[in-house]
């Protein structure tokens, strides 16, 4: 077999796990990881340590810097993929370079979703997806500062709990994304609201946010305005409305896309040389006759593993569709498989 060049778009848990298994399953191959991040792979849950006061990003890395050299992985950081040419088997980079591949893994993850009517206010909402975001959040929060969290997805609730433990005040203005990607369905929400209050959230239910404004000099930096004209002031506003797959660069590639990149249970897309893994993909479930997504940390890692094995010629299938649910423990505290990392 001639040396294969595997190119992976994304250095999150899916892409990272894939590199390890590609090296194991095809020891002689070439691996190139292209990622928009400025820094090497930092697992998202390590970002919370920035709030504890960790300032040096090196302490948060999943692997020591020499890992990539030892594994013979070319890591191209700070590099944005803008297109995929499936005919020529090349990816286009923002700085106009074309990079050829034999087999491509798309593991570009998802970005924070914002409802259409709040998109104009994106600049007033703090993201929390990178080391730089975490540093900015910490810098912009004074001691015992006020956070207004919108939506209330499971990632946000986890972050909110952390902020409350650190002495910040968190007001949560909920909407249909509360507990996303879980759904309460027909369940009585009351004990779940109590659990949030017990964790220290100031809960605001049933109000629609219509505007976010920059506060005037000397006053709170942010004002969140609801439809009934009530105003919530904050040092920082967090948008926690779930994730949206990042796929702009695939727009003209001609692959089957719905919300995410559609793929088989072997994680192959509609192109025979392209696989997908992680938050970016929707996987066919033959049992349910529909496409499924899974955003849990461990299942995202598993997708990276399965995609790598199959890119190297294997035939493993994903069958982990038990997506878990939000629940309550015997003390009335929230539980979720979304908060299990390893
Ligand atoms: C703030 C936050 C908190 C979270 N907390 C939890 C949690 O508590 N529990 C849990 O189970 N899950 C959590 N998640 C979700 C979890 O992070 C994701 O499921 C997981 O990170 C997805 O991994 P991934 O590898 O698919 O994508 P990501 O981790 O999103 O990585 C995507 C990679 O693709 C790169 N990329 C994207 N577009 C391009 C492009 N055009 N060109 C080059 N590179 C590109 C990015 O730079 C990055 O390297 C959280 C997510 C966020 C944002």
The two structure tokens encoding residue 189: 């929400």
How far is ligand 1, taken at its centre, from the CA of residue 9, in Å? Answer: 12
Residues with CB under 6 A from ligand 1: 9-15, 34-37, 44, 80-81, 107-110, 128-129, 155, 158, 246, 249, 278-280, 295-297, 300, 338-339
Atom of ligand 1 nearest to the CA of 10: 34
The two structure tokens encoding residue 16: 């990272």
List the one residue out of 41, 18, 43 whose CA is nearest residue 105. 18
Residue ranges and CATH numbers for the domains of the chain are 5-111+244-311 (3.50.50.60), 114-241 (3.50.50.60)
How far is ligand 1, taken at its centre, from the CA of residue 114, in Å? Answer: 16
For residue 188, the number of C-alpha atoms closer than 13 Å in the C-beta half-sphere is 3
The per-residue pLDDT for 287 is 84
Please name the residue whose Cα sits nearest to atom 47 of ligand 1. 36
Q: Is the dihedral of CA 254, 255, 256, 261 positive or negative?
A: negative
Q: Which residues does the chain have with pLDDT short of 70?
A: 1, 320-323, 342
Q: Distances from the Cα of 144 to the Cαs of 37, 42, 260, in angstroms?
A: 31, 27, 39
Atom of ligand 1 nearest to the CA of 37: 47
- 8-42 pLDDT tens trace: 999 999 999 999 999 999 999 999 999 999 999 99
The per-residue pLDDT for 63 is 95
The per-residue pLDDT for 342 is 65
The per-residue pLDDT for 292 is 87
The per-residue pLDDT for 176 is 95
Cα separation, 312 vs 308, in Å, equals: 6
Strand order of the β-sheet with 202-204 is 202-204, 169-174, 146-151, 236-240
Cα separation, 129 vs 281, in Å, equals: 19
Please name the residue whose Cα sits nearest to atom 15 of ligand 1. 295
How far is ligand 1, taken at its centre, from the CA of residue 44, in Å? Answer: 7
Cα separation, 317 vs 15, in Å, equals: 17
Cα separation, 205 vs 194, in Å, equals: 12
The per-residue pLDDT for 245 is 94
How far is ligand 1, taken at its centre, from the CA of residue 137, in Å? Answer: 18
List the one residue out of 244, 235, 213 whose CA is nearest residue 151. 244
Residues in the chain: 342
Total-model pTM: 0.94
**What string of DSSP letters covers 28-58?**
T-EEEEE-S-SSS---GGGGHHHHTT---GG
Atom of ligand 1 nearest to the CA of 108: 34
């Amino acid at each position: 077999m001639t040396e294969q060049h595997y190119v992976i778009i994304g250095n999150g848990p899916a892409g990272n796990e894939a590199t390890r298994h590609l090296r194991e399953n095809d020891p002689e191959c070439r691996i190139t990881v292209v990622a928009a991040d400025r820094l090497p792979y930092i697992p998202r849950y390590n970002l919370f340590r920035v709030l504890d006061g960790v300032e040096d990003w090196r302490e948060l890395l999943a692997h020591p810097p020499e890992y990539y050299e030892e594994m013979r992985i070319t890591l191209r950081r700070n590099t944005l993929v803008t297109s995929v040419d499936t005919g020529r088997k090349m990816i286009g980079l923002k700085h106009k370079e074309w990079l050829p591949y034999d087999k491509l893994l798309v593991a570009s993850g998802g970005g924070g979703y914002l409802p259409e009517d709040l998109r104009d206010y994106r600049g007033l909402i703090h993201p929390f997806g990178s080391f730089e975001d975490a540093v900015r959040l910490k810098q912009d929060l004074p001691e015992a500062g006020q956070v207004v969290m919108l939506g209330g997805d499971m990632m946000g609730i986890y972050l909110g709990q952390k902020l409350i433990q650190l002495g910040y005040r968190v007001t949560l203005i909920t909407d249909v994304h509360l507990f996303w990607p879980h759904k309460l369905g027909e369940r009585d929400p009351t004990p779940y609201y109590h659990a949030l209050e017990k964790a220290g959230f100031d809960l605001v239910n049933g109000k629609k946010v219509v505007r976010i404004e920059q506060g005037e000099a000397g006053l709170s930096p942010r004002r969140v305005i609801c439809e009934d004209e009530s105003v919530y002031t904050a040092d920082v506003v967090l948008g926690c409305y779930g994730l949206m797959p990042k796929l702009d660069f695939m727009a003209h590639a001609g692959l089957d896309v719905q919300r995410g990149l559609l793929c088989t249970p072997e994680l192959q897309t509609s192109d025979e040389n392209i696989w997908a893994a992680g938050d970016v993909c929707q996987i066919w479930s033959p049992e349910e006759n529909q496409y499924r997504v899974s955003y849990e940390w461990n299942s995202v890692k598993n997708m990276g593993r399965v995609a790598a094995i199959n890119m190297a010629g294997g035939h493993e299938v994903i069958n982990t569709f038990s997506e878990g649910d939000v629940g309550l423990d015997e003390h009335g505290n929230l539980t979720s498989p979304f908060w299990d990392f390893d």
